Amino acid sequence: MDNEQYANGLYKEDSQLEMVKKGIQAEGMPEISISPGYGRLLTMLVQMSGSKAALEIGALGGYSGICIARGLSEGGMLTSLELEQKYADVAGRHLQEAGLGGKVQYRVGDAKATLAALAEEGHRYDFFFIDADKEGYPVYLDWALKLAEPGAIIVGDNVLLRGRVTNEEKQGPSVAAMREFNKRIAEDERLTSTVLPGYDGLAIAVVNGR
Site for Mg ion, rule CB under 5 A: 131, 157-158
Quick one: 33 or 114, whose CB is closer to Mg ion?
A: 33
| Neighbouring residues of 180: CB distance < 8 A, sequence distance ≥ 6 | 137, 138
Shortest distance, position 23 Cβ to Mg ion, whole Å:
17
Shortest distance, position 157 Cβ to Mg ion, whole Å:
4
Shortest distance, position 77 Cβ to Mg ion, whole Å:
22
Shortest distance, position 61 Cβ to Mg ion, whole Å:
12
CB 204 within 8 A of CB 193: yes
Q: Which residues pair with 205 in a beta bridge?
A: 154, 193
Quick one: 117 or 196, whose CB is closer to Mg ion?
A: 196
Quick one: 98 or 155, whose CB is closer to Mg ion?
A: 155
Instruction: Please give the residue whose beta carbon sits closest to Mg ion in the complex.
Output: 157
Shortest distance, position 208 Cβ to Mg ion, whole Å:
26
Quick one: 126 or 131, whose CB is closer to Mg ion?
A: 131
Quick one: 133 or 149, whose CB is closer to Mg ion?
A: 133
Closest by alpha carbon to 156, among 132, 135, 172, 175? 132
Burial class (CB in 10 A: 0-12, 13-18, 19+), 201: buried
